Structure 1
């Protein structure tokens, strides 16, 4: 690939305002009609490569057992084509700058493209609450903190600003209570890694049916608890986080070396993450997390993009993490890309404000409001990192869940594969009823007790 192709990729955003002006004219009456109940375009595209949304997957397919691997409802799909260095120019308008950089840098990198399946679906209660949120949800104009909303719904199904789209991502539904055990692989140039193992439980106050008003949330969006179990250098380290809606997050750390609990104010923004070896900032976890106050957020518009989607094979426990990882990028044989519409949001650091990542371009799936890809630029406005996450429908809820997050660092020529569960028990998306997550688990006193056991 030529340098000109990469230069063109950097400016492809100039032509992405597909349907953005029309979207801003939509009203609450369009939700569930012209639009899906959470604000995506219900219709397919003009050439038929993106189908209409017909409700998504709302019930588990035959053969699924709770607690086991998710059965692939699209296992019979045949690959349409692959995108690699031989044909990337043909598809450049539907690729991110990061994807084009991966193709240009690694001759064996490829993206296998399958038929587009708009599988995302959510509980009816979320659809109802989303309608109630129109005209109610509101951001602080100075900080972009959420200061009003109807809990349990997408706050901005008809977004008018980039910050509103980012809040839809921040509040994207993937259960009320969740318990997962997973692996993070910080992969070196040879493809080797030392598994970082962890257990995590969380409760979403925002999606707790008992919280029917914004005041009932008491400024808490969600709470989560993380325990590192391997390797030995971090085993026993624990974090407790209370994620707020309008203010700094509250976080505590238990250090087994010190045998005490202390506040962890650095678990945010561009501060390093334990075990990530400097390859990702704290707010890159889950594609983006935390406050929006350090950036100016521009809603660029919509575009069609090839993104990882419905990757049931990638998530299957028969593929161990050591099989998935390889030098430079995960095994492309296990990847599935589809053409979907995404919102494009550009974040530029505010003047006089510090952050390691001064410019980012986020691509947000219209059907799930999840960030699925991010181009990340350095202080010289050169592409530095690329971040990508895949999704599948966890149809026992139902919801679209993001996992398999990859962060590529083009300067270090290394990557992180995070949020993978292949070597561990299957995620529990009903932790509030199974007993794997309850309110007392997220109390600071309970963290102290766990640390002294």
Structure 2
């Protein structure tokens, strides 16, 4: 396996790390986009300038239905496969190169780049206000101050700040989804795991205008498994915190009671994933940053899964998305985008089964879109990628598929699939599908015992 080594970086010692001076905010909305990306395209013309993204639905879109693909007529530019991968290696990650090396029939179909991610104007306004205000604790990288409603660090100065932009990426205030996960064996077989999840963001709720009003809560969510039988009825309630440990509870149908779930974090194995993913790999990365040193490497032009409306469309059922060794190549679209590169190494005296991770963060959405993961010998071990789709009725960008590859085991997980279920509801706080009284132990117990 290929190796990639970065020097470990230590966070600045002190009580707090500021992001940037308030004067730097003048660049936002000018030579930079409102979230801090480079507005201009690249010199080669293969990445266009940002023109505002997709902020209104195209003709033919109906609320609650599949997203109409505004780029359906795009021609495929070329494919990267084993025969020509060397030519494009500078725009590929170590994990992507490892996939080409392991699987002779792996390929990436490349399409024209569209910088389609957009956010509501209120998010842009609050993001600008956060410059010079948002701060991290130097020892733990916890968020200790910010103006809710906007990205905290549009002008990142260290590696932890882009990770917080990812954690706080806007996905609507309330969200109600039903999805499928597929843990795929080496023959391409899987047993569907089905679940329902409701989320309510405290950070983006207009009722919380100040950091103090959040009461240290970023968001609340509960998840219930409905299939297969061995998981059916298992429920989780989580209050995700901004600093300190998250609060989590589990309802076990076998025990018929609610108990605390302190292991729902860090490198504890994720339920139902057969040891192929840790809890903090879900959603590309989640939870506290305190076990890693974070180093901001810079930017890179990378081929990533983007604008994948075909992959997200319900006409393609989950069984069509899954193929042997990797998701169906005919339904995957890749584009060249600029990404921030953040190197994470486990702190001395701290343990984590994933000792070295390299995160690639899309400059337009601040979402982690790819991750290289190394073992203790420095060999590439796992690779993750997100299938990013702009949801223009919000507007924001969202994951309609997340792939976890274990390159040593030769297996993968395809997660966050909504093709077989109702379309995600990104307005659940207005439809009554996500209300604050749902996220209590009493409500969890009531759901579990009814």
**TM-score, scaled to structure 1:** 0.95
Shift of 1:452: 1.3
Structure 1 partner of 2:441: 444
**Does structure 1 residue 370 correspond to structure 2 residue 362?**
no
Contact 2:389 2:399 in 1 (8 A): yes
**Does structure 1 residue 183 correspond to structure 2 residue 180?**
yes
Question: In structure 2, do the counterparts of structure 1 residues 24 and 452 end up closer, same or farther at CA, with 3 Å as the change threshold?
Answer: closer
**Does structure 1 residue 168 correspond to structure 2 residue 165?**
yes
**Does structure 1 residue 283 correspond to structure 2 residue 280?**
yes
**Does structure 1 residue 61 correspond to structure 2 residue 58?**
yes
**Does structure 1 residue 79 correspond to structure 2 residue 76?**
yes
Distance 1:358 1:215 in 2: 34
Give the alignment partner of residue 145 of structure 2, picking from 136, 140, 148. 148
**Does structure 1 residue 98 correspond to structure 2 residue 95?**
yes
Cα deviation code 1:159-218 (max 9, x no counterpart): 000000100000000100000000000000110100000000000000001110000000
Distance 1:270 1:57 in 2: 36
In angstroms, what is the RMSD of aligned CA positions? 1.3
Structure 1 partner of 2:337: 340
Contact 2:251 2:445 in 1 (8 A): yes
Shift of 1:315: 0.2
Partner-residue secondary structure (3-state), 1:130: helix
Distance 1:253 1:56 in 2: 40
Q: How many residues align structurally?
A: 438
Structure 1 partner of 2:16: none
Cα deviation code 1:353-396 (max 9, x no counterpart): 11110000000000000000000001111110000001111011
Shift of 1:152: 0.4
Equivalence map 1:218-233=2 (5 Å): 218-233=215-230
Give the alignment partner of residue 408 of structure 1, picking from 386, 405, 410. 405
Contact 2:20 2:132 in 1 (8 A): no
Contact 1:227 1:237 in 2 (8 A): yes
Distance 1:58 1:268 in 2: 35
Partner-residue secondary structure (3-state), 1:27: helix
Shift of 1:24: 8.1
Structure 2 partner of 1:19: none
Distance 1:335 1:451 in 2: 38
Structure 2 partner of 1:256: 253
Which stretch of the first structure deviates more once superposed, 398-407 or 356-365? 398-407
Structure 2 partner of 1:360: 357
Question: In structure 2, do the counterparts of structure 1 residues 71 and 254 end up closer, same or farther at CA, with 3 Å as the change threshold?
Answer: same
Shift of 1:403: 2.6
Unaligned segments of structure 1, at least 5 residues:
15-22
**TM-score, scaled to structure 2:** 0.96
Shift of 1:402: 1.8
Distance 2:285 2:142 in 1: 15
Structure 1 partner of 2:244: 247
Contact 2:20 2:131 in 1 (8 A): no
Structure 2 partner of 1:419: 416
Distance 1:449 1:324 in 2: 36
**Does structure 1 residue 385 correspond to structure 2 residue 382?**
yes
Distance 1:417 1:144 in 2: 30
Structure 1 partner of 2:321: 324
Shift of 1:445: 0.9
**Does structure 1 residue 34 correspond to structure 2 residue 48?**
no
Partner-residue secondary structure (3-state), 2:330: helix
Distance 1:166 1:274 in 2: 24
Cα deviation code 1:225-248 (max 9, x no counterpart): 100000000100000000000010
Distance 1:424 1:452 in 2: 24
Partner-residue secondary structure (3-state), 2:338: strand
Distance 1:171 1:403 in 2: 18
Contact 1:370 1:402 in 2 (8 A): no
Distance 2:49 2:24 in 1: 20
Distance 1:413 1:441 in 2: 40
Distance 1:397 1:257 in 2: 39
Shift of 1:341: 0.2
Structure 2 partner of 1:217: 214
Structure 1 partner of 2:298: 301
Distance 1:379 1:108 in 2: 29
Distance 2:400 2:347 in 1: 30
Contact 1:408 1:416 in 2 (8 A): yes
**Does structure 1 residue 269 correspond to structure 2 residue 266?**
yes
Distance 1:103 1:402 in 2: 23
Distance 1:303 1:326 in 2: 30
Distance 1:43 1:270 in 2: 39
Distance 2:407 2:337 in 1: 26
Unaligned segments of structure 2, at least 5 residues:
8-18
Structure 2 partner of 1:130: 127
Cα deviation code 1:309-336 (max 9, x no counterpart): 0000000001111111011100000000
